[in-house]
Structure 1
Amino acid sequence: MTTAVTVQRLAIALFAALALAACSGQDSSHADAEGVQKSSSAGLPDGRIAVGEQLANAKGKATGQSCIDCHGADGNAPIDASYPKLGGQYADYLAHALQQYRKGERQHALMTPQAANLGDQDIADLAAFFASRPTQLRDLHGMQ
């Protein structure tokens, strides 16, 4: 067997091992028995769904709006077609987005100031709440 074939087989085996390791972890889109959303790649504490719901309903100091004012009670009824549906979205995605708004790495006239004063626990809680809501999201698999 040539060295190139050996290297190729090792690369395939390594990729397969990494893919299996990534898939074998706990699914972060579900809460445990106590209603705690487990965090992962965002490096945040565990999110608390009930606290996240309270935060989602609280008016932000920066804009005077709450999350649900713009995204709807379950995050599925945005007031503007350009606003995303949050219900059922991956908690990690929501947490990363809020962290980027907070840091100013992601810009939006309302979201950037709204997220500026959120702490890590706040972000984890909001992400857990919206991730736990019913989803109207759909993937585009098989779409032409």
Structure 2
Amino acid sequence: MKQFLAFLTVAAFLPVQAADIAAGKAKSATCVVCHGSNGISVIPMYPNLAGQKEQYLVLQLKAYRDGERKNMVMTPMAKPLSDEDIANLAAYYASLDPKG
């Protein structure tokens, strides 16, 4: 837990990579199954991603990918993502209207 908090502290001050929303939308094809085509999940146990803060999404996806956060669904989904993929996905979901 201390390592994760240290990571969050450092990550909060890192510059956010310029992202491509269109590329994020294209990459989100597998995400829509659980998180909905507009970022609003119809499955109660899965979170809505539409309008979520971009840096939060980046941190969480990297934590899943790097094994700092574990989930039987998200860990394997995030594993193949590059930093660029993550930045693009985060920008895309942050750009969506949280009301759907």
Task: Decide: shared fold, TM above 0.5.
Answer: yes
**TM tier, shorter chain?**
0.7 to 0.9
For the structure 1 residues 43 and 115, does the alpha-carbon distance in structure 2 shift closer, same or farther, using more than 3 Å as the test?
farther
CA distance in 2, matches of 1:42, 1:115: 20
TM-score of the two chains, using structure 2 as the length reference: 0.81
Residues 14-53 of structure 1 aligned to structure 2 (within 5 Å): 41=13, 43-53=15-25
Q: Assess if the C-alpha contact under 8 Å between 1:42 and 1:95 holds in 2.
A: no
**Equivalence for 2:38:** 74
Gaps of 5+ in 2: 1-11
**Equivalence for 1:123:** 86
**Equivalence for 1:107:** 70
1:118 aligned counterpart, secondary structure: coil
Deviation, structure 1 residue 80 = 2.4
Ranked by relative contact order (alpha carbons within 8 Å, sequence separation 6 or more), the top structure is: 2
CA distance in 2, matches of 1:95, 1:42: 11
* 1:88 is the counterpart of 2:66: no
Corresponding residue pairs, total:
89
CA distance in 1, matches of 2:88, 2:54: 9
Deviation, structure 1 residue 79 = 4.1
CA distance in 2, matches of 1:55, 1:107: 21
Deviation, structure 1 residue 44 = 4.6
TM-score of the two chains, using structure 1 as the length reference: 0.57
1:47 aligned counterpart, secondary structure: coil
CA distance in 2, matches of 1:70, 1:48: 22
For the structure 1 residues 43 and 112, does the alpha-carbon distance in structure 2 shift closer, same or farther, using more than 3 Å as the test?
farther
Give the helix-richer structure, 1 or 2.
2
For the structure 1 residues 50 and 108, does the alpha-carbon distance in structure 2 shift closer, same or farther, using more than 3 Å as the test?
same
Identity rate of aligned residues, in percent? 40
